[in-house]
Amino acid sequence: MVSDKQHTISRRIEVSGIALHSGKVVRIEILPAAINTGIVFKRADLPGTPTVLAHVSNIQSTDLNTTIGSGEARVSTIEHLMAAFAGLGVDNALVKIDGPEVPVMDGSAAPFVDRILVAGISAQEAQRRYFVVREAFEFQMGDKWIRVEPADTTSYQMEIDFKSKVIGRQSFGFSMDREAFLDVASCRTFCHVNDVNAMRNAGLALGGSLKNAVVVSDDEVLNPEGLRFDDEFVRHKLLDCVGDLALLGGPIVGKVTASKSGHGLHAAFMKAIWARRHEVLAIVEDLGVRRNPPGSPIAAGAIA
Ligand SMILES: [Zn+2]
């Protein structure tokens, strides 16, 4: 984070591409937005162009993607675009979209990151609100779990374990800064070839191809170009985690650790933490205050 100010994009961005699950071409337009707007999606194709705030309270489903909704407005597969905003420190933006699903692009966040960097990012006249972890909080679902703990900086540590030999057990972690983020932003979503037919029968992944996902069999990667990193799979899971946790509404300051996580676990975790936010999180505008000795009062702003 370059400063403690809120940021928005400097210029309008236009992106179009295939939606992974519907297979249709979708166009999005990203516009600068005022302080304290957050990330707001606007369904330009619906009567009255309804909006939905990208926030944990608006999560509607997590079936292979993260879908938010409010009233008539539903938008799915927001996680990679949300990760691009979070990783680059964009607090406020309006995303106009002419369909129900964000385009998948190449299956990673890199195309969004590239366009945001070209448009530029501008500081705004308001302090950013950080979600500082005050006490450890863990959430389990079967053999999957995710935990946050207090720490002076923001870091993520992730591990996965898949049957396919090309994935297997992988772990990866990083401290959040722009350079480190760029090396997860380009990591693509993935699936097993056996799941492709199952998803299509369920009416999902109709736009999926080797151009927008890594497809593996039990013992090989089917994409002719291979992998972008040997551990691209776990890096992509980390990217999803960054994008989903952005739905808290501001950057977390703390240590995030997760095992076998996915959109469903992230959403359940955030709903649980949001219900206990007064105990677990402090919303802080000036991180200098937080660095006072233990026991001194934390300067918390109003809870959103
Ligand atoms: Zn993903």
Q: Are the C-beta atoms of 139 and 265 separated by less than 8 Å?
A: yes
Nearest to 104 by CA among 199, 180, 218, 10: 199
| Burial class, 17, CB count within 10 angstroms (exposed 0-12 / middle 13-18 / buried 19+) | middle
Q: CA neighbours within 13 Å on the CB side: how many for 210?
A: 10
How high is the pLDDT of residue 156? 97
> Could you give all domains of the chain from N- to C-terminal order, each with its CATH number?
5-127 (3.30.230.20), 130-290 (3.30.1700.10)
How high is the pLDDT of residue 288? 64
If you measure from the C-alpha of residue 61 to the centroid of ligand 1, how many angstroms do you get, rounded to a whole number?
A: 14
160 forms bridges with which residues in the sheet?
170
What does the pLDDT look like over 14-69, one tens digit per residue?
999 999 888 899 999 999 999 999 999 999 999 999 999 999 999 999 988 999 99
Pairing state between β 67-70 and 73-75: antiparallel
| Burial class, 119, CB count within 10 angstroms (exposed 0-12 / middle 13-18 / buried 19+) | middle
If you measure from the C-alpha of residue 65 to the centroid of ligand 1, how many angstroms do you get, rounded to a whole number?
A: 7
If you measure from the C-alpha of residue 237 to the centroid of ligand 1, how many angstroms do you get, rounded to a whole number?
A: 7
Catalytic residue among 7, 55, 263, 266: 263
**Residue pointed to by tokens 């489903």:** 61
Asked if 263 is an active-site residue, the reply is: yes
Distance CA(38)–CA(60), nearest Å, equals 18
The amino acid occupying position 95 is: V
Three-state SS letters, 190-242: EEEHHHHHHHHHCCCCCCCCCCCCEEECCCCECCCCCCCCCCHHHHHHHHHHH
- Per-residue pLDDT band at 284 (split at 50, 70, 90): confident
Distance CA(219)–CA(197), nearest Å, equals 18
What does the pLDDT look like over 96-110, one tens digit per residue?
999 999 999 999 999
